[in-house]
Amino acid sequence: MTDISTLESLHLANIAAATDEAALEVVRVATLGKKGTISNLLKSLGAMSPEEKKVNGPAFNGLRDRVQKAIAARKGELEEAALNTRLASECVDITLPVRPEPQGTVHPVSQVFDEVVAIFADLGFSVAEGPDVEFDDYNFTKLNTPPDHPARQMQDTFYMAPQTDGSRHVLRTQTSAVQVRTMLVQKPPIRIISPGRTYRRDSDATHSPMFHQIEGLVVDEVTHLGHLKWTLEEFLKAFFEIDHAELRARPSYFPFTEPSLEWDVRCDRSGGHIKFGTGNDWLEIFGSGMVNPHVLENCGIDSKKFQGYAFGGGIDRLAMLKYGIPDIRSFFESDLRWLKAYGFTAFDIPTLDGGLSR
Ligand code: DAH
């Protein structure tokens, strides 16, 4: 019996001395594990006489129970201690002010993306997306611009290396490709916008080989140019934060719309910077039109039952106009000083109620 109590105090001392869960596990395996001291004692009962069993059985089992309990209790203590240490080290003092000089800012293009999405979401549009590397078919052919079509020359395209079947992917030249992607998978009514990156071989103060566009598409049983005009007016009023936006339509040509129109917005350039809503100048803002029935049919939509309108324009240009940024190339130079001047803090989240800009 002395053996048992010596053993017990030894084990209990080891358990108390375990300073983490791994050390405690070592003690558990050494005592209660398959080949542990206590397991061996219990196994030895099998070879004992009934008298010996009577004495040793309760003693060994009692030892096992007490050691088991002690291990469980120590485990609880260690877990709590570990949690407390973690809580202490990971605690965040939310009463601390934000660092006074944050280095990063939200890029004006990202900000305008969010502004545009907020405005069109309020008008019932959802956001659709497509890839930057696009099928020639979606960027051109299904948009009524087959390979030999002269309108292909309107856009200086980056072509990818030919596929094994001879077809070539392009870096999409227009977000209009997302119209196709949407119509191929969604039945009318359709009401989407698609802001995203686009690419053309062009570079000067107002053109960058990578730039951003927004596309809009509505397809339903009754849509007409009045809806289109109203939508663009509402957008411009909200975007430029003006009470009144006056639009002027000019006839134009896009292969995927019939008729095609370009819209100018009335503005005043006399004061050295642009003011919208007044003045005697006009600024081109969106290309648009009624979706060409060929495009609807190419995308599996019955053009006898449905019509649609579409519009598209440059996001960078909208950002330049709204925030007075003169050169599009500066958007992509990653100059921290420029970002500090034109960027937004992470808290400038554009919402229609809270205000779209600072
Ligand atoms: N995709 C045209 C471009 O890049 C812009 C455009 C014009 C989009 C008319 C449209 C539209 O949806 O209807 O120049």
Give 290-319 pLDDT, tens digit per residue. Answer: 999 999 999 999 999 999 999 999 999 999
355 domain-assigned: no
Q: Which helix (H) or strand (E) holds 44?
A: helix 37-44
Tokens 């921290």 — which residue? Answer: 336
For residue 173, give the ligand 1 atom closest to its CA: 4
- Residues 252, 323 within the same domain: yes
221 domain-assigned: yes
**Residue 310 C-alpha to ligand 1 middle, in angstroms?**
8
262 domain-assigned: yes
What pLDDT band is residue 358 in, cutting at 50, 70 and 90?
Answer: low
Q: Which two tokens stand for residue 309?
A: 């309108």
Pocket test for ligand 1, best of 307, 311, 315, 317 (most atoms within 8 A of CB): 311
CA–CA separation, 15 and 272 (whole Å): 81
Exposed, middle or buried by CB within 10 Å (0-12, 13-18, 19+), for 23?
middle
Q: Is 314 in the pocket of ligand 1 (CB under 6 A)?
A: no
Q: Is 228 in the pocket of ligand 1 (CB under 6 A)?
A: no
- Residues 69, 212 within the same domain: no
CA–CA separation, 186 and 130 (whole Å): 14
Q: Which domain holds residue 83?
A: 2-90
CA–CA separation, 291 and 310 (whole Å): 6
**Residue 259 C-alpha to ligand 1 middle, in angstroms?**
12
CATH code (residue 139): 3.30.930.10
63 domain-assigned: yes
| pTM, rounded to two decimals | 0.72
**Residue 288 C-alpha to ligand 1 middle, in angstroms?**
6
Collapsed DSSP state (helix, strand, coil) of residue 166: coil
End-of-domain residue from the set 90, 117, 138: 90
Collapsed DSSP state (helix, strand, coil) of residue 212: strand
Number of structural domains (the chain) is 2
CA–CA separation, 211 and 21 (whole Å): 56
Q: Which helix (H) or strand (E) holds 77?
A: helix 50-90
Q: Which helix (H) or strand (E) holds 291?
A: strand 281-291
pLDDT tens-digit series, residues 190-241: 999 999 999 999 888 778 899 999 999 999 999 999 999 999 999 999 999 9
Instruction: Write b or e for each residue in 295-309: b if 16 or more Cβ atoms lie within 10 A of its Cβ, otherwise e.
Output: bbebbebebeebbbb
- Residues 115, 160 within the same domain: yes
- Residues 125, 80 within the same domain: no
**Residue 178 C-alpha to ligand 1 middle, in angstroms?**
11
